[in-house]
Every structure is written in C-alpha cells, then in structure tokens.
Structure 1
Amino acid sequence: MPDAWVSVSLTSLALLAGLVLLAASVNMFGLSKRWDPSLKHCFVTGGSSGAGLALAKLLAQNGAHVSIVARDQAKLNKALEELEAARQNPQQVFRAYSFSVNTEAGSAAAIEAASEPFDGRCPDAFFLCAGASRPGFFVEQTEESLRTGMEQTYYAQAFTALAASKTMVQQGVKGKIVFCSSILGYFSMVGYSTYSPGKFAIRGLAETLQSEFMLYGIDVHVAFPGTIYSPGYSEENRVKPKVTLKIEETDEGATPEVVAKIILDGVRSGKFHITVDFIGNVFRSSTAGSTERNSYALDWVHGLIGYIALPIWRNSVDSTVLKHREEHEAYLRERGLRS
C-alpha cells in the first residue's frame, strides 16, 4: 500500500511539473492565441489626452474601430483628428463623445451613443483610462475632496464597467474590460491619500470581476502604470507636496505611447495584471496573492528581489519623510493647521 501511494504521488508530482512547464512555455513563447483588435469596436474613456489618447491611436493603428469619451469637446475634436491620421483602412469607424462617466447614467449614455453606428451593438472592448490625481496631505483634505478623489479614480472606471457589463451580458457580447489602476494600487506613500485608495479599489474590483465574468466569457485586465509624462502629470506636480516630489525624483517614468504599447501587448497576450516596468513587476510579484502569474520563473525572481529590496526601499522613504518633519511643521503653521 505505501509503495502504491508513493507511485501515485510521484506520478501526480510529475504531472504537476509538466503542467507548470507547459504553462510557462505558453507564457514564455506566446503559444496562446493573441487577441486581435482589428475591426473590433474599442471604447476608450479618458481618450482625449495622455495614455488614453495614446491607447486609442494605437488601437486605430491596429485596425480597430475606436470610440473615445471625455468631457472636453475641444480636446476630443483634436484627438479625433489624430485618430484619423492613424487610420489603416476605410472601414474603420472613429467617433468622439462628450460625457461624464463618474455616474452609471453618464456611462450608459456614452455606451449607447457609441453603439449607434454599429446598429446598437455595444463595443467589444472597454479601455477605462479616465482618472485624475490631486496630491496633498491628508490633514488638508475635506469630506468633499475625499469623495472627489474616489470619483476621479474609482467611480470614473467602476460605473463604466457596470454599464458596460450589463450591456455586454444582455447582448451576449464576449469581449474585454480593461481597467487602469496605478503602481500606487500596490503600495502608497505620503501625498496620495485621495488617489491611492481608489486605485487599490480598482484592483479589488478587477479581481472580483475576473472571477465573476468567467460566467459570461468576458475577459478582465487591469494595468498598473507608474509615472506617465502627460499634461495631467504636469498639473499634478504643481500641487504635489515637496516631500513627495523628493521621494519621486529618481522615478524615470514613461511616455503615454510607451505605456499604451505595454498595456495593449498585455491585453493581447491575455495577461490579467499588466505592469509596465521592472519596479512594477517587483511590486506585482510581491503582492500577487492568488492572482495568476505572468511568468512562473520571472515572477519568482521578481518576488525574491522584492522580499529583499522593498523593505530597504521603504526604509529610505520613511527616512525622507521624517527628515521633512521640521519643514512640514512650518507648512502646517503657515496654513493655520497647527497652533
């Protein structure tokens, strides 16, 4: 009996090892079928500037129909011209819609408008890039600013996902929903009390829906970019606390075009968590929980690096914050926040 048990155990281990190697080879050599956006209808929120516009243009270059949504009609008109310049064939349909997507009603109206040129059929893929950041110290915030922060980071994507999923399920469309969180959805630090909570919430929502939407054949992805050099980033830096700027001064960042390419490559290859650089991979692997891995071998290496390096890095962040204490005391008194 023990010999039989050992034999079965060894067989099971060999089978498991074979499955791991097969999964790794599929990941490593791209043997899984890649998603092709050509002539798919892609709906992009935050599509008038930054990474959203870069992603919309890249989708257009890959032959997709593209609908972009944002609030500013003038920016949308200019963005539409850039989409036209990226056109690959005369069949492609490009449209721009001015809607606020931080409510379910606004998101549903935007989706309905974008569906009209396609005889009412909803888009095949939703890329949720809407969002904004206004850094500051937590003691400076108000109830209104905290609510606004959640609207700009979480609800601007959650309500679009809600409206999109209802329409996709009703019509039987087996497509994609792609969230855009941030590397600050894996960790946070001084200055991001109105931003990071919503980005953490997006990860939680994406992980819930990735499980739930298997019922409908809808794929869910979530991207975690770091610094993106966009007009929004320049505006953010105007109000960012000095200590936050100090901590971030070694951050190399990336252009919207680089981020868009990595996100689309991740979606096409079927990745769930999509990170855009080395440090993103380290944070992803170190906080993965039960999330599916992008590469069994590389994620193990990134996780080991994180286990050793991240506590050291966090120590340096905390040290920088404490060195700022005296300056911060003066800042608080200047603004009447400290007697």
Structure 2
Amino acid sequence: MLTSKKWDPRGKHCYVTGGSAGLGLALAILLTRKGADVSIVARHKGRLGKALELMEAERQTPNQVLRSFSCSLNDATEAWDALEAACKAHGGRCPDAIFLCAGTSTPGFFVEESEESLRRGMDNTYWAGAWTALAAAKRMVRHKAKGKIVFVSSVLAYMSIIGYASYSPGKFALRGLAETLRSELLLYPIDVHIFFPGTIYSPGYENENKTKPKVTLKIEETDDGLHPEQAAAVLLKGVQKDYFHISPDFIGNVFRTTTKGATPLNNVLIDWVYALIGWIALPVWRWTVDKAVKEHRKEHAAYLEERGFFQEDVVGTNGHVEASPGA
C-alpha cells in the first residue's frame, strides 16, 4: 500500500454517465482538467452541448478527445449503444474508467406511491447504473482490458429515512451489485469502487425538494451538503487511493464503518475511530429521527385526509395513489 502508484486519469479515456449536470458534469470537468479523454452520456441533448462547452474550456492538450452521447441509460440497448459509440471514437478501445453518476430522486410517502412510480424509481437509480456496468464489464472482459467501474450510490444505502421509498432501494441494490462485482471482477484486471455521497447541491437536489415531505426536510436541515465540485474531488481522490467504499464526509464515514460488513477498510486506525463514534452516536441520531417522525403523525394524518387518501373511490381498488408533493 505504501509503494503503490496513484491512479492518474491523464491520457486515459473516462466515460461519465449523467455528465450533463450535477456531480457527473463536475467530475467530467475535473477529469478534463486532469488531462483525460472524457465521454459524457445523458438524456438531454441541449444540456450535453452546454456541458461539452464547459469541458472544452478546461482542455489541457489539443489531442484530448471530448465527446457527448445522448441516450436513456435505464434502457439496456441504449446504454450498450452509447458505450459502443464512445469506444468507436477511440478506435474500438474500451474506456479505462466508467463513472456511473446518472440517477434521480423523487421523494414522497410510500403509501402514495404506485407500481409505476416505484418501477420508475428503480429505473432511475439501479438500472441507470446496472445496464452500463453490464455493458462495460462484458466489453472489458472480452477485450482483456484493464479498467475501473465506479458506481455512485448514496449515504441512504447505508441507512434510510422517511420519504425515500422509491429511491433508497435502488441505491441499496447498487451497493449489492458493486460488492458482488468487487469479488467477481477479481477474475480480471477490473477494479470496482462505489461512492456514497450525502446531499449534493445540484439541479437534481433542487428538483427533489419539490416533492420531499416536510418531515424529511426537517430531518435533513442540519445536513451540511457538498457542491458538485467538492463531491467530484472526493470521488476522484477515493478512486486514486483505490478505496472500495468512498465516503465524502464525517457522517458518511461513520455510517460506512458501522455498516461495512466484510468490505475492506480504507484506513485501519481511522476507521476504527469512526466505528467507535458510530457505536455511541448513531443510537442517539436514530432516536432523534424517530422522534421527529412520531411528532409528525398528526400533521401527516391531516395531509392524507386533505388529499382524500382515506376515500376508497379516490384510492382505487388497487390501493395505488400517484406520488405528489408531500406535506
């Protein structure tokens, strides 16, 4: 560990999903500034064009290859085609690193979710990462290429709270996939990493707050979030240090070390300190969260009553109610 060479993105092809905004865009700009060839992938062509302009402003050498590709990443075929197009721009060579930053959150109460909204939640969290990871792993193995697959999960995959029933399950699933692939891809020269950020002040965060229940906002009001540039720097630093689980802040590291299972430690001494703090502090944190939820019962009941939730003709025979802004 003391003599290992730090991973350097300079001259390498880095493939970034969700690269048109938020963490993905910040990471793409950072990688460009570090001298990497960068391919960004997202759904919205207009935002991709603006993102590419920002990346061009950070170009370090005339021969850096900076490209964008538009596709729906929660569709397996489109995810495969986008990766193939990015490889074609590099003579068919696999990307050296796949950064899976795509994902969105639409918070709300579980009792107001529907089959459609829950499936959409998994599409926008788990499948938006899993399909690209599958395409990348197949390609890397077939080409006997060395590479990295970097997942972006959430601190909500270490624990979850009220309001994230359509979001956290997909992030937990990404953690399960990453831990499986960390083991399986030891068969090949492919490294796996997974990032667990908390709040990131991005357009996606602003959008999710439109539907986020008031009680969730209250629980999160003391959360010190990160700007996308800060989160991107922590993510890249963790990859360069060859960390498997990457956490960006104190509370993330406390949750990481108390829920790590059999995953590798990042630093033996420091991680044990984090774990000791968690053993003492997390029961108190859990008590405050439970208290906030219980105190919200009366207001929540009034909210459901106002929305007609208890009326059978509104709820419907299948018990489904479309998700909407929470009270």
TM-score w.r.t. the length of structure 1 is 0.91
Secondary structure, aligned partner of 1:91: coil
For 1:33, the aligned partner's letter is: K
Q: How big is the shift at 1:72?
A: 0.4
Partner of 2:324: none
Q: Deviations over 1:285-335 (max 9, x none)?
A: 000111000000011000010011001000000000000000000001011
Partner of 1:330: 302
Q: Which has the larger radius of gyration?
A: 1
Gaps of 5+ in 1: 1-25
Partner of 1:192: 164
% identical equivalent positions: 62
Gaps of 5+ in 2: 312-327
Q: Deviations over 1:103-127 (max 9, x none)?
A: 2211110011111121111211100
1:53 and 2:25 are equivalent in the alignment: yes
Question: Of 141, 164, 179, which residue of structure 1 is paired with 2:113?
Answer: 141
RMSD across aligned positions (CA): 0.8
Q: How big is the shift at 1:228?
A: 0.1
1:62 and 2:62 are equivalent in the alignment: no
Supply the distance in 2 between the matched residues of 1:98 and 1:34 (Cα, whole angstroms): 32
For 2:142, the aligned partner's letter is: Q
Supply the distance in 2 between the matched residues of 1:31 and 1:227 (Cα, whole angstroms): 34
Secondary structure, aligned partner of 1:319: helix
Supply the distance in 1 between the matched residues of 2:291 and 2:90 (Cα, whole angstroms): 56
Partner of 2:276: 304
For 1:163, the aligned partner's letter is: A
Q: Deviations over 1:82-123 (max 9, x none)?
A: 110111111210000001111221111001111112111121
Supply the distance in 2 between the matched residues of 1:182 and 1:243 (Cα, whole angstroms): 20
Partner of 1:9: none
Partner of 1:179: 151
Partner of 1:128: 100
Secondary structure, aligned partner of 1:42: strand
Question: Of 218, 232, 235, which residue of structure 2 is paired with 1:246?
Answer: 218
Question: Of 267, 292, 310, which residue of structure 2 is paired with 1:295?
Answer: 267
Supply the distance in 1 between the matched residues of 2:35 and 2:180 (Cα, whole angstroms): 31
Secondary structure, aligned partner of 2:72: coil
Question: Of 155, 162, 166, which residue of structure 1 is paired with 2:134?
Answer: 162
Secondary structure, aligned partner of 1:156: helix
1:39 and 2:11 are equivalent in the alignment: yes
What pairs with 1:108-127 in structure 2 (closer than 5 Å)?
A: 108-127=80-99
Secondary structure, aligned partner of 2:19: coil
Partner of 2:241: 269
1:316 and 2:306 are equivalent in the alignment: no
Q: Conserved in 2, the CA contact under 8 Å of 1:181 and 1:223?
A: yes
Q: How big is the shift at 1:172?
A: 1.0
Secondary structure, aligned partner of 1:193: coil
Partner of 1:102: 74
Secondary structure, aligned partner of 2:209: helix
Secondary structure, aligned partner of 1:239: coil
For 1:327, the aligned partner's letter is: E
For 1:99, the aligned partner's letter is: C
Secondary structure, aligned partner of 2:159: coil
1:257 and 2:229 are equivalent in the alignment: yes
Supply the distance in 1 between the matched residues of 2:103 and 2:90 (Cα, whole angstroms): 27
For 1:285, the aligned partner's letter is: T
Partner of 1:14: none
Q: Conserved in 2, the CA contact under 8 Å of 1:32 and 1:269?
A: no
Supply the distance in 2 between the matched residues of 1:306 and 1:32 (Cα, whole angstroms): 30
Q: Deviations over 1:175-195 (max 9, x none)?
A: 000000000010001000000
TM-score w.r.t. the length of structure 2 is 0.94
1:77 and 2:54 are equivalent in the alignment: no
Supply the distance in 2 between the matched residues of 1:34 and 1:269 (Cα, whole angstroms): 6
Q: Deviations over 1:168-212 (max 9, x none)?
A: 111111100000000001000100000000000111000000010
Q: Deviations over 1:234-269 (max 9, x none)?
A: 011111000000000001100000000000000011
Number of residue pairs matched by the alignment = 311
Supply the distance in 1 between the matched residues of 2:144 and 2:58 (Cα, whole angstroms): 30
For CA contacts below 8 A with separation 6 or more, give which structure has more relative contact order.
2
For 1:276, the aligned partner's letter is: P
Deviates more, 1:312-321 or 1:117-126: 117-126
Secondary structure, aligned partner of 1:263: helix
Partner of 1:19: none
- Which has the larger share of helix? 1
